[in-house]
Amino acid sequence: MARAKLFALKRPYPRQSWNKHNVYNIFRYRLPSTAGRTFFQQKFKAKQETRRFHGEYLTERKWNSMFRHTLRGVVRMNPAEMAANDGSAAVAGRGSGVDVPTEVRRTVRRLHEPPIPFAQMAFAPLERRLDTAVYRALFASSIRQARMLCVHGKVAVNGVKMPHAGYMLNPGDMFSIDPMVVMKAIGQGAGSKVYTKLSDQAKSDLITAIETGQKERKSSSYLKRDDKKVLSGNTKAEVEDNFVKTSSTTSNPESSEKKEGDAEEAVEESKGFKLPPDWRSYLPRHPRWKLYDTWQPRRFMNLFAFIPRYLEVNHNICHAVYLRHPVARSGSAEIPNPFNNETMQLAYNWYLRRR
Amino acid sequence: MPPRLRPSGLPPPTNVISEPFSSSPLLPYLLPLHHLYITLPSSSSSPSSSRQFSTSTPTPARVRTRFEKTPGTRNGFLDWLKKFAGRLNVPSPQNNIPVYMQYNKPPLPLLKGGGRPNAVGFVKRPRKMEPNLVDWEQVAKNATMSPFPTNPTYKVHPALSTEFREQIYQRVREGRSVRRVSAEVNCELERVAAVVRLKEIERKWIETNRPLATVLQTRIHAMMPISQWKPGQPHHETITDLRIHPATNNQLFLSVPESMPFNRQDAAKALGILPADIRMPHSELIGVEKMKLQRVPVEEMIAREAQREQDEIAAINAKREAVEKRRNAGKVVETERFRFRLRPAVVGQVGYRYGVPAEDRKRGINKIPTRVD
């Protein structure tokens, strides 16, 4: 998986991620215009744009092998109507029904039922992939993260560890992740805000602790030890307390502004000392279950919080079931997608050639 | 570690199903089929119902502020842009309406007194849109349902609320078939089965004192549309969605005598597929509707439905037994730990043969399993 520049702000493209830059990019994204372009150019552009969103981490060859020209759709049936007539009225006469003029019937039909957006299903085979399903079930904040969770062996399918992100789910498959992992993946990190809220005494203690830790780090067992006695009792309690407090009050915008102001001061105060990004690992381990009380969703998660109909998710236990393959129905398709029907139609046509 | 859940906190199973519903098991068949005619209005989410497992005080959930308009700040984007990407060129809003709203295909909804009605009664939209004419609440509501501003075709379908799931689970535990529960609560067959599977696991977790991620569930449900349980007429989705058969996509020319009726059965025969009356999920509803049309008395209807259900269960059991019988056909050797079922096999057709090179490390051979049982 090549590391691409995912969230470029200069030329924005929507991606499957809850990243803040992506949020902004989705908002200002404009669909590709078809004016003054040949049909081939239109198709190519549409394919480019849609592939940047759907399975951008897959090579074109891989996606080509997954593409299917069959598009799944469903029609809503009315049992009362089916019981009342056997369908022969619709084809009576010369094959197009009697009594009702065709135009009237067409108009009535159009008013009542919007067409099925089949083109939206062009990338439906990707939805079967395990990593995509994990992202759709809101167990990860981006498809790449979901893929990482799979590859790291955090995801189980029907209770069996499935380290292949490309596993194609079958209808009825149940996939699951440890809720702790999910909470970490889609939650807010505490960041270095903990540090800025500490008292001077605690700060200096912490600095000493980290420095000793960095010295002792060469002994490989040091970081694994749970009883790292690097902090005196008060400081330890303060750190623990602040850790809990900050992660539960981050939703307040005013306090967060203040904190950021403090952060700058704090950095100025402790000249020369830079808080290492892995500073938590120098402290005694934080009791994991505290996450259950203090969990906060990731920023901008609300914009992406929806679960498609082909999944049934239970977040209490972080298990989900892939019910069936996604389908399109009158007026809507089940695949989350920022591109309109025209663009999708062009992209579908691109992949349809030579087939 | 404090236990996060008390099984006693769960509602007792007797109280879950409302009395009138459990009195007549066939009531859903006799009710007007509301799932066909009523489109579900988006339910106002009340967080209280999804909090029945939680013992902590509710934290105020972050509301959708996507379309909340803050004049001058462009919905707060400028604020964080200053922090994170100070030099960016943001397209300037026109008429103080956020920019991304302008290429929304459907026009912005107006407030009641927004436009002037003309002589015919149609409301004429003002040529120049002003922010105080726009019904921003409606805009936010629309945004909840279609999250991508550039694709109005994608609509979010609400998820099942916790109470809804509990109701489904209790009904199935009472011994009703998945099919009947699905028709009762207007929820797809597969979904009902999945909900029961997930609930079983949840129950096991509670029994083994494994903490549930109730915070996660509550906070996520507060962010998205939820179909709440309505005791009288529960509804989640349409249950009679017929999958479009690929054979019906192609045109088929068939000469049919004009004097003869040509119905669904004939069409299915011509296409070489099963008729829609059989392929449709919940095809038994057609039978119920037919009985209604024939004005069959209610007792008779109930009796017939019960009989049909019994026959169905009997058929399923017979099939299962046949499979079991076939599976146990060979010799069975019981040891302390295992029950070996020996079946006759032909060497070379089954199993791994020594000396034959394995292909699993070859290039182009797929190593990802296709199914997990």
Q: Which residues contact A38 (CB under 8 A, 6 or more apart)?
A: none
Nearest-by-Cβ selection for B217 from A24, A88, A315 = A315
Residue with tokens 């054979």: B247
Residues 82-111 of A with CB under 8 A from B: 82-84, 86-88, 91-95
How far is A256 from A272, CA to CA, in rounded Å? 25
Instruction: Assess contact for A339 and B151: CB atoms under 8 A.
Output: yes
Nearest-by-Cβ selection for A83 from B64, B159, B289 = B289
Instruction: Assess contact for A216 and A285: CB atoms under 8 A.
Output: no
How far is A140 from A330, CA to CA, in rounded Å? 30
Report ipTM for this prediction: 0.76
Cβ of residue A168 closer than 8 Å to a chain B Cβ: yes
pLDDT in tens, A46-87: 999 999 999 999 999 999 999 999 999 999 999 998 999 888
Nearest-by-Cβ selection for A74 from B80, B160, B241 = B241
pTM over the 0.90 mark: no
Instruction: Write out chain B's pLDDT in tens, 373 residues.
Output: 444 443 343 343 333 333 333 333 333 333 333 333 222 333 333 344 444 455 666 555 444 333 334 444 455 555 544 443 322 333 333 333 333 333 344 566 777 765 666 666 666 666 666 666 777 666 666 666 777 777 878 888 999 999 999 999 999 999 889 999 999 999 999 999 999 999 999 999 999 988 888 889 988 988 888 899 999 889 999 999 999 999 998 899 988 888 888 899 999 999 999 999 999 999 999 999 999 999 999 999 999 999 999 999 999 999 999 988 887 777 888 898 998 888 778 877 887 777 877 777 788 777 888 888 8
Cβ of residue A323 closer than 8 Å to a chain B Cβ: yes
Which residues in A lie closer than 8 A to residue B62 (C-beta atoms)?
251, 297, 302
Which residues in B lie closer than 8 A to residue A84 (C-beta atoms)?
289, 293
**Chain A nearest C-alpha distance from B157 (Å):** 7
How far is A240 from B6, CA to CA, in rounded Å? 27
**Chain A nearest C-alpha distance from B347 (Å):** 30
Residue with tokens 């349409």: B238
Nearest-by-Cβ selection for B223 from A120, A174, A301 = A301
Cβ of residue A292 closer than 8 Å to a chain B Cβ: yes
Which residues in A lie closer than 8 A to residue B91 (C-beta atoms)?
28
Check A120 against B240: CB less than 8 A apart.
no
Residues A226, A232, A234, A236, Cα dihedral to 10°: -30
How far is B177 from B308, CA to CA, in rounded Å? 12
